[in-house]
Chain A
């Protein structure tokens, strides 16, 4: 798929000397869901704000749909919808009025049918004439999404869409994101919840200290970096591992009841067959065996640790 957003060597240094972005390059494919994962203060929001025109970059370029965000800002920005992290919304406006306002602001003629569809999709239609201050937090967040979608953008940026949102609402939000992606909108979301990236992203970018550490297909990333863990439960606990079966990646649980073997499933030989036969030869009786794929969280923690 062609790239719809291309970020090239983008840097942002604030006047106080703080470097929020240090040479970020990133290509976002049309129609994908990309999660930018990183700890607080990693530069996620600055990156999004710079692409959307709220922050002026110190150096580097961004093109959106082929339009440079500085020289052709109108063309670039009209393709983008932005939902910022904070619930910043005019409290006294009605839902419909604020969504219509956003559509106009982005240069689109009034279209009641579009506004109605957006509000219906986000289950806000029944509250269309309510003042925003009367809505619940989750609804306010959906109003912000509605505002961002009012001008029918091709790209939607969601900055921490589920920060401070309860579990049920989070799943609700994910469903909204998936539905949007199905309509062909490219979605970029930032999060520090790995669970979120794992649940909805197609690709994952890891960002820390203003640098992109990697961008990979989520499945490939998990497969490539994913180590597997084999847990062998013993019939009877042992005080220590017999010396003859000791090898790299092998350890004993604290209670002595489980042998844990961490292996790389990419490797030609995982060493499982050998281990199992060695266990048997050492006279240990097995009760149960299970394997576990390491999660994105493990990968993430490792990456950030390595690079900071």
Chain B
């Protein structure tokens, strides 16, 4: 195991975050604050409690997931796409590192960043609304697994993407709608029956539901199912990466 290489990649990626602090940390935090102001304070006052929880508090897990998912995906995808784009990937390919060491470095850094942002948003939320975390360990587990899984997904996107447009496309056209329609701002039980069924095909529903359960013990689907689903995603992403490296798809000629 070439730990020095993993560390080098990890530190390099974290240094990139530090260089782009505004873009990496401040902007997701700012947009979350805006969500609180708009949905929590302005609109929330006119909405009754959802499943016995104040609306402002109810949306916190969903908001954290929204940032977590987008940040994990965009950081990891950009992290591996950029060397491909500028050509510095030659160094990774000629270095004595295994594929999984490369993944560990990039995905580890992207997951760390997403986690840090998630925690910052959680703390920010605490300033606006009353927070209660019923199952802290489950919450941390969901947080970690989500960061890792979506960082892996981002890594796959970064490798497959041929240009900057494609790199932006997946987060923009798939992830954001999935999160918004995945019950970030509402309970699925508030939907008509037909849409409740449709929603169950949205993987993000399971993440948000499970994550919210760890806060308030209310869930749209059973928490065990949520947990199973995220592990399934994790397995899918790992399989995709394994296949990419085995075939050299889009990286090695």
Contact = CB atoms under 8 A, between A and B. Distances in A.
Given A104-B5, A104-B7, A106-B95, A90 B88 contact: yes
Interface in A129-157: 147
A179 interface: no
Given A56-B253, A107-B2, A88 B88 contact: yes
Given A54-B252, A56-B248, A56-B252, A106 B86 contact: no
B15 interface: yes
B88 A105 contact: no
Contacts of A76: 96
Interface stretch (A77-85, A193-201, A225-233): A77-85
B88 A53 contact: no
Contact of A104 (B8, B82, B94, B248): B8
Contact of B96 (A89, A90, A106, A147): A106
A105 B8 contact: yes
Majority-rule SS of B interface residues: helix
Given A74-B2, A105-B97, A107-B96, A84 B90 contact: yes
Interface string A55-91: 1100000000000000001111110101010101111
B: interface residue count bin: 20 to 34
Contacts of B2: 74, 107
A54 B94 contact: yes
A132 to B, nearest CB: 11
Interface string B54-78: 0000000000000000000000000
A89 B253 contact: no
Contact of B4 (A90, A91, A104): A104
B229 interface: no
B96 to A, nearest CB: 4
Given A90-B86, A108-B4, A102 B91 contact: yes
B92 interface: yes
Interface string B1-13: 0101101110110
B93 interface: yes
A72 to B, nearest CB: 10
17 contacts: A14-B253, A52-B93, A52-B94, A53-B93, A53-B94, A54-B252, A54-B253, A73-B96, A74-B2, A74-B96, A77-B94, A78-B96, A92-B16, A102-B91, A105-B92, A106-B5, A147-B91
Given A74-B2, A102-B91, 12 more contacts: A54-B93, A54-B94, A77-B95, A84-B90, A86-B87, A92-B16, A93-B15, A105-B8, A106-B96, A107-B2, A107-B5, A147-B91
